[in-house]
Chain A
Amino acid sequence: MKIIVCVKQIRHTFARSSMDPGENFVGPEDTIHRVNPYDEAALGLAIRARKLFGSAQIVLLTLGPVIAEEDLRRCLAIGADDLYQISVNGEEGELDPWSKAAYLARASRELDGELILCGKESLDGRNGLVGAFMAHRLGLPFVSGISDLVNIEGEGSVKVKRNALRGTREIIECSLPAVFSVDLGSSAPEYPAYRQLRKAGSIPVHGLRFEKDIAPPKTIAVRTIAPRPRPKCVPPPDSGLPAFDRVEQLLMGSRVEKKGAVLRGSPESQVEGIMSFLEEHGFLDSKGKEASERQ
């Protein structure tokens, strides 16, 4: 039994524009390289499957250069046995889901995987297509967004649980080999023992080198529409300021410098100061006050 888990390494930007307008851009320290959490959930499920099957080999499959080695090694420490990295001659930059699925499917066929797991979607792209395309390429059944592996049904068949909408859950029986995409929360997150982490450090990364697939992708994202900025209520900028300062004020969340004076001296004179300020600005009616005093 061989379980293949496809893991995507992502460049995860966790700092969404700092509060400080002076630093309102994404810096190099705002990002980390990590393994897609959905794929980690898939690995967790693979470990559970191994327990159910009694014995199985779990193989990690990743596409493209190794950018999150530490996290990949963490996956090995958690329980994967091998790590395969696919590199494609002549392909550069981010691939589209169709081509990705093509290469991953080819590798899965070469590695002879019986159960192929991947995350439901990736934290950066959120297409959720690769699993389905892979199943199509391999000619295998596909269940999307499974949350649990219920049990094994005799020879070559498993029951999986899938979260449908609004709390409905389905139990699906599926023959093996098959491709499943895995939702978050399907299993408790595994924690690597440091001892395993040390051992995982010396597991070699097996390279798989493919030639570029000439077939053009069948689906292409032709246009991306950026989200509209969420409007935020800010007080109008001080119209007396020059344009540059007004723009800056808007960016700063319209922080207006408070004008005012500090009253000093004895408490009596301070009270007098406050009273005269209030009268001056019409908050207090000085005549009314006198009238009430007379009564």
Chain B
Amino acid sequence: MVLTAFDVLLIAAAVMVMLAGISGKVALPWPSGGNGARGGDWAGLVKYLVGHEPILKRRFAGICHLFIFWGWAVFLIVAVLAQFNFTLPSPVALLLAALLELLGILMLAGTLYFLARRFAARNGNTAPEGTVPAMAIMLVILVTGFLAQGARLSIMEPGFNWVAPAGSLLTCAVPGSPLFMQIMIRIHFFAVLLFIALLPFTAMRHVVFASANVLYRKKNSGELAPVSLDAGTYGAGTVLDLSWKQMLDAEACVSCGRCEENCPAFLSGKSLSPRTVMRGVFKQMATAGTGVGNHNGGLAPVLEDAVTADEIWACTTCMACVRHCPVFAEPMCEIIEMRRHRVMNQGLLPTEARSALRDLKLYGDTQGKGAVHRKDWAFNRDVPVMTGAASGVEVLLWVGCSGAFHPRNQETARAMAKILNAAGVKFAILGSRERCCGDPARRLGDEALFIDLAQENIRWLNQFGVEKIVTLCPHCLHTLKNEYPAMGGQYEVVHATEYVMDLLGQGRISLKYPVAKSIAIQDPCYLGRYNGIYEPLRGLCGAVPGMQLKELARNRESSFCCGGGGGRMWLHEGEGTGINKMRAEEALNTGIDIVGTACPYCLTMMEDGIKSIEADHQPKVADIIDIVADCIRLEVSVNDPSEGEE
């Protein structure tokens, strides 16, 4: 089809409407960098669009999306190129024709699937708004395209043509009249224009905003925005307090529901759903008439109208929503912003967590035992305390509040000391100079307290010149490794499982005594999803003689939270079923002897969960470090005090 001047005008008009729609949603100039996002990652965007990898995690819908995306891309390119006057050599032209035909069929199939799915799951709230009109227009485009093709073929070359099977079949049904063909082409053309013009006003806005969100995605997903204590107001009380990246998240969200399917709070019957959080933010942005990055919008309603306190406090910050989001939106970070608003502006921390944070402030740990007692677990054991510069110390053992005070986790701390001594590692602990890493305070929204604790820790770590730290708790690991560098604490931080795996690999320890049990790993969120550490846990279990490694149904990136993260350890779980109970049932159904984990919270939560279920064969819960320490071959003499209790 050759375009007339009038057609060009129409195209220009459609594109103008689209651009106007988009620019209404974006405050220009587009901010670059800052706010935890990096400048555009164009290579990443191209790779994402070509490969569709995150979208393909949901198999069938992902493939349909891939067809439609590629269909649009190829057809648009061909339509533009067709305006230039050139002829292709016959075989190439035939091949291209066949390709276009094939793509058309695939697109049609994809569109029909999406439409059918939309109508099947039509219960108001869960379906994203504005998908059905867009899909209907797309269907019109495709059907008229095929009809026009059929008409063209029946006029020009009747009979079956192998490069255009669908078009050829249609010649039987379609009249070979030029008028019919022209009408179809016109409808096709107008539908395309309508689709383009309506793009920003339907769910198809994701074409622009999701791409932008992929382009500006955070380098460290799940990273929380820093807080300036001099700001006077903290967190997000209204949508206007969100950063432009967080607003972009809300615009990019297509409400596909993958976050919901993996959210432990939602699955256990709490009122929280990451999807409704994003929808709430999106709707309030529309109410406030604000666009992405526009912080001077009109009066915005308070976010609590859209996201209630119960929803905010139900989040376990397990990061499943962030990891499973195909467009890299981060509902979890928005929830933390809302927590900050409640705690730092209004003092509305849930009552049961107040004393925990009070103790954290007064004594430097959530249990209120006091820093002086931090090395009590190591009494009578060969655990040196760091007193001067860290010269000659290979690694600093960061015990953490749980390892130092919780009786069950103290065993893990002792086990780790035993392993380190057996390997002949020169290590030390900070002893009474250690404070809580600040994770509970930060996840519960008290950023000021987090900064206090972090600065105190960094002061001592820097004073001792610590270079390498091994942590027992994944929460400490994440905080020290990923959150302290921004505050001036640069260290090489590894988790105990990684470190012990290295020791095993170097042959500094060997595992001798067999454990003839089957084990499955409960992947701690802060180890797995946050830091991508999955293999050392499995490697250690595999290295224990006689141990049989199984997998829980949900594992690795899809692992189900124990329910203890994000400060939930100190909150009551009133609504719905217990998250730990759900996970315990899953472990029970797997038919294993041991649930292996590497996180003090997981240990406590899973133990509680399993105890609450009545079953004949209850699996034991153990820290993998405990298991390794029990079957380690000791080459040292009996006089070693670390062996005193053996």
Contacts and interface: CB of A to CB of B under 8 A. Distances in A.
Nearest to B352: A188
A185 to B, nearest CB: 11
B362 A32 contact: yes
Interface in B591-646: 637-639, 644
B363 interface: yes
**Size band of the interface chain A makes with B:** 20 to 34
Contact of A32 (B363, B448, B637): B363
Nearest to B371: A29
Given A15-B370, A194-B234, A194-B345, 15 more contacts: A14-B363, A29-B432, A77-B347, A188-B351, A189-B351, A189-B354, A190-B347, A190-B354, A191-B349, A195-B232, A195-B344, A198-B229, A198-B232, A257-B639, A262-B637
A189 B344 CA distance: 16
22 contacts: A14-B368, A14-B372, A15-B370, A15-B372, A15-B373, A18-B373, A19-B373, A27-B372, A29-B372, A30-B370, A32-B362, A78-B347, A189-B355, A191-B347, A192-B347, A193-B346, A194-B229, A194-B343, A194-B446, A194-B447, A195-B232, A255-B380
A20 B347 contact: no
A15 B372 CA distance: 7
Nearest to B357: A191
Contacts of A196: 347
B308 interface: no
A167 interface: no
B233 A195 contact: yes
A278 to B, nearest CB: 18
B358 interface: yes
**Size band of the interface chain B makes with A:** 35 or more
B79 to A, nearest CB: 57
Interface string B336-367: 00000001111111010011011000110000
A258 B638 contact: yes
Closest 6 CB pairs of A and B: A193-B347, A15-B372, A194-B344, A188-B351, A191-B349, A194-B448
A29 B448 CA distance: 22
A26 B296 CA distance: 56
Contacts of B380: 252, 255
Contact of A260 (B344, B349, B371, B638): B638
Contacts of A19: 373, 376, 379
Contacts of A261: 638
Contacts of A78: 347
Contacts of A34: 362
Contacts of B448: 194, 197
Nearest to B234: A194
Contacts of A260: 638
A18 B233 contact: no
B12 to A, nearest CB: 51
Contacts of B344: 193-195
Contacts of A191: 343, 347-349, 354, 357-358
B364 to A, nearest CB: 10
B343 A193 contact: yes
Interface string A6-40: 00000000110011100000010110101000000
Nearest to A195: B345
Contacts of B371: 29
A190 B355 CA distance: 9
A257 B644 CA distance: 8
B345 A193 contact: yes
B399 to A, nearest CB: 15
Contacts of B376: 18-19
A78 B232 CA distance: 17
A192 B354 CA distance: 10
